[in-house]
Structure 1
Amino acid sequence: MSLLADSPPPPPPKRLVVLMPTWFGDVLMGTPTLHALREHLPGLHLAAAVRADLVPLLDGNGDLDEVIALEAGGKGPHVIEAGHRLHAGGFDTAVLLPNSLRSAMLARLAGIPRRIGYERDGRGLLLTDRLIPRREKRKFVPVPTVEYYLQLARYLGAAGADTRMRVTATDADRRAAAGLGLPPGRTLVLNPGAAKPEKRWDPMRFAAAADALAERHGLAAAVTGAPGEAAEAAAVVAAMRSDATDLVAAGTGLAAGKAVMADAALLLTGDTGPRHLAAACGTPVVTLFGPTAPGWTTIGFDREAQVVARSGEMSGITVDEVVDAASGLLEPAREREPAAVGV
C-alpha cells in the first residue's frame, strides 16, 4: 500500500475523533487502530463516533475516552444533526475509517480542522490529509481491512504493529447473558444469516453440522443473528435433532451476545460480523467462504479454520468439511488464548 499524502504529517492532535465504519465486523477491525492511537498518544482525548446500534461493540473499550452514537444512514437533517454533535466535541482532528463521501462530508460539516482519510469515492477535496491506496492495472490491491485502517494511525506516527481486534464483555453484558441458561464453556454458536444471500450456507446443513458436533464433542447449540434473520435462525433450530437455543427469538441483543460469544466453545459462521466478534473474544471460529475472497478480510487469528468453496458458491461446502474443520479446533488440548481486552 502506498502512504502518499499531499501534506506533511500533522502536529500531534489533542482531541481526536475516529469515524468508525457502519458494518458490524468492520467496527471490530477498526479497534486495532484505536489501540495504536492510544499507545502512541497516551494524553490524547480519543473518541469514536459509531452507528448507535453498534455502540455495544465499543462499550468498555479501555482505549477510548468517549463513544459518540450516531443515527444510521440518513440524509439532510440527520447529517446536519450528526455534524452538530461532532462540532460540540471540539475535536481538532478526525480520522475517517470508512471510504464514504458521507463520512468526509460529516467531518467537514462538523468544522474539524484536520480530516485524514483515503482519497476514495470522489471526496478528496473534503480531506486535508489524503492517503492514496495502491492500485495495479487500475484496480485496488487487496489489503486486509485491519491493515488498511492501521495505515491511518501510522500516518500520525503510531507504530501500529498489534493487529488484534478488541472487545470487552462487561459485567452488565454477562448478567444479561446469564438468564439464557447456556452451559458454561460448552456452547456451539451458529450464525446462519448474512446481509447478502449468496454468503449464506443452507440452514439444513448448519443443522446437520451442529448435530454432529453436539454428539461428538458434547456441545449445546445456540443460534444467533440479526433481528431480520429470525427466519434463518428458526429454520436451523427446527431442523436440528438435538436441542438448540434460538437467541434471535429470545431477543438477545448485541451486549448479551458479546458475553455469549466470549464464553462459547466455537462459532460456525459465514464471513460476517460475528466472525470478527469471535476472534476479538479469543473464541475458535470456523468461517465459510463462498463468493468472498478471504484476502480482503484476513484477521490474523490463529484459532480460525476457513472452509473455502472451490466452486465459489456456498452450496459447494459440505457438512463433512465443516465438521472436520470444527473438530480440528476443538480437539487439541490447549487452553483458549485470552482476549485482548477485558473478556
Structure 2
Amino acid sequence: MAKRDQHQPAERLLVVLPTWFGDILMATPTLRALKRLWPDTQLSVLVRESVAELVEGLPYIDHHVPVLMKGKGASAFRLAKRLSKQKYDAAILLPNSFRSAALVSMAGIPRRIGYERDGRGVLLTDKLIPRRDGRKFLPVPTLDYYLSIVHYLGGEAYEGDHLMEVATRPEDDERAAGLLAGAKGKPVVLLNPGAQKEFKRWPAERFAQLAARCSNELGCAVAVTGSPAERDVLARVTGAATTTIIDLPKAGMNVRLLKSVTKQCALMVTNDTGPRHLAAACDTPLVTLFGPTTPEWTEIGYDKERQVVARDAGHAESMKQIGVDEVFDAARDLLSSSQAKVGS
C-alpha cells in the first residue's frame, strides 16, 4: 500500500480490543496514541461487556461498543450487522484472532489493520508482520506490539507513551474508601492470589503468611481481591491467615470499584494476571510473582514494580519455589521507597 494511504486518517475508527483484563489495560497507550495521531477521528472501541468498565471515562474514547460473549446477543452475524450500521471506514484489530478479522470483514469495514496471524492475512487490507525467527514468534512486550500499529500509521514515540491508565468516578472513589475503612488509616496492602490458570498461582498459605508479616512487621492493613471464579482461593487465604484480612469481594466489588480500591492502596502483591496491569495503571507500587510464565512477553516498564521470578521459571510447579521471605523483602523495599497511600 502506498505511503500516503498508509498514513491516511480514518473519520470513523473502530478498535477491536483484546479479550483479557490485562491486555485491555495494555491497549490504553495505543488508544491514547491513536487519538494523538488522529485527533479529529471518532474513535470507538469494541470491548467485552464484562470488562467494559475498565476503559470507561478515558477521554480519548468517543464511543463504547460492548459485546456479549455468550447468549442471544453473542452471534457474530448479529454483531457484524450492528457494526455495519455505524459506517466505520477503518478497523484496527488488537487481538490476533481470525474471528476478529472475519467480524470486521462481515461488517463491511473497508480498511482492516492488524497483524498477519492465525491465517487471517487474506482478510486484512494492512498486514503487519510479527517478529519471528523461522517458525517461532519472538517475544515482544504486548505494549510495544500494540503501539507498533500506531507507528505503522505514522505515529511517533513520545515520552510517557507506555503509561497505562484508567479513570475513576468520585462516587466510586468514595465507596472504595468505605470498603477500606477497616484499615483504620493504615496503608493497605492488596493481595491478588488468583489467576485464571491455577499453575500461575502462588500457594494460598504463602499469601496468608505474607499478610501476617505485612501486618505485624510493617504495620499495614491487608485486603484481598479476586473474581467470583476465584472464591475458593480467597477463602483459603483468609482461612489460613493469622491476621485480619479485608475480603473485598464479600463486601461487594465490581470493575469500577476495583479501579478505585487499587488507586487507594499502598501496594499490590499479585500473580502474573490482569490486576498487575491495573496497579500500574493506577500508579500503585506492585510486586508481581512469575513462575511458569516469564516477564518478557508482558514487560510494562513500570518503575514501581518489583518482579519476583522463580529460580526454575517456565515450569508448572515453579510458583512453589518462590519463598515468603523474598516476596516480603520486595514489598518492604517498595513500601519504604514509596509514599504510603492511606485506605481511608
Q: Give the TM-score normalised by structure 2.
A: 0.92
2:261 match? 260
Do structure 1's residue 96 and structure 2's residue 93 form an aligned pair? Answer: yes
Structure 1 residue 152 displacement after superposition = 0.9
1:120 match? 117
Equivalent residues in 2 for 1:158-169, closer than 5 Å: 158-161=155-158, 162-169=161-168
Question: Is 1:193–1:229's contact at 8 Å kept on the other side of the alignment?
Answer: yes
- Of 294, 313, 324, the residue aligned with 2:329 is 324
Indicate the SS of the match to 1:268.
strand
Q: RMSD between aligned alpha carbons?
A: 2.1
Indicate the SS of the match to 1:63.
coil
2:246 match? 245
1:131 match? 128
Indicate the SS of the match to 1:157.
coil
More helix per residue: 2
Question: Is 2:266–2:284's contact at 8 Å kept on the other side of the alignment?
Answer: yes
**Cα 1:12/1:185, change in 2 over 3 Å:** farther
**Counterpart Cα distance in 2 of 1:118 and 1:75:** 30
Equivalent residues in 2 for 1:109-188, closer than 5 Å: 109-161=106-158, 162-182=161-181, 183=183, 186-188=187-189
CA offsets per residue over residues 169-207 of structure 1, 9 Å max, x none? 112321332331434671111111101111001000001
**Cα 1:109/1:120, change in 2 over 3 Å:** same
Equivalent residues in 2 for 1:154-233, closer than 5 Å: 154-161=151-158, 162-182=161-181, 183=183, 186-233=187-234
Structure 1 residue 7 displacement after superposition = 10
Question: Is 1:266–1:283's contact at 8 Å kept on the other side of the alignment?
Answer: yes
Equivalent residues in 2 for 1:261-276, closer than 5 Å: 261-276=262-277
1:339 match? none
Do structure 1's residue 63 and structure 2's residue 60 form an aligned pair? Answer: yes
**Counterpart Cα distance in 2 of 1:75 and 1:136:** 42
Amino acid at match of 1:170: R
**Cα 1:238/1:137, change in 2 over 3 Å:** same
**Counterpart Cα distance in 2 of 1:333 and 1:77:** 44
Indicate the SS of the match to 2:251.
coil
Structure 1 residue 89 displacement after superposition = 2.0
**Counterpart Cα distance in 2 of 1:266 and 1:241:** 20
Q: Percent identity?
A: 49
**Counterpart Cα distance in 1 of 2:195 and 2:7:** 40
**Counterpart Cα distance in 2 of 1:85 and 1:156:** 27
Question: Is 2:67–2:74's contact at 8 Å kept on the other side of the alignment?
Answer: no
**Counterpart Cα distance in 2 of 1:76 and 1:53:** 13
CA offsets per residue over residues 273-319 of structure 1, 9 Å max, x none? 00000000000010000010210000010000000001221000000
**Cα 1:266/1:120, change in 2 over 3 Å:** same
CA offsets per residue over residues 94-136 of structure 1, 9 Å max, x none? 0000000111111111111100000000111111111001111
- Of 30, 33, 38, the residue aligned with 1:33 is 30
CA offsets per residue over residues 22-44 of structure 1, 9 Å max, x none? 00000000000000001111111
In structure 2, list runs of 5 or more residues that go unmatched: none
Structure 1 residue 76 displacement after superposition = 9.9
**Counterpart Cα distance in 1 of 2:254 and 2:186:** 20
Bigger shift: residues 216-225 or 196-205: 216-225
Question: Is 1:33–1:160's contact at 8 Å kept on the other side of the alignment?
Answer: no
Indicate the SS of the match to 1:158.
coil
Bigger shift: residues 253-262 or 324-333: 324-333
**Cα 1:172/1:325, change in 2 over 3 Å:** same
Structure 1 residue 6 displacement after superposition = 11
In structure 1, list runs of 5 or more residues that go unmatched: 337-343
- Of 314, 325, 337, the residue aligned with 2:319 is 314
**Counterpart Cα distance in 2 of 1:33 and 1:189:** 28
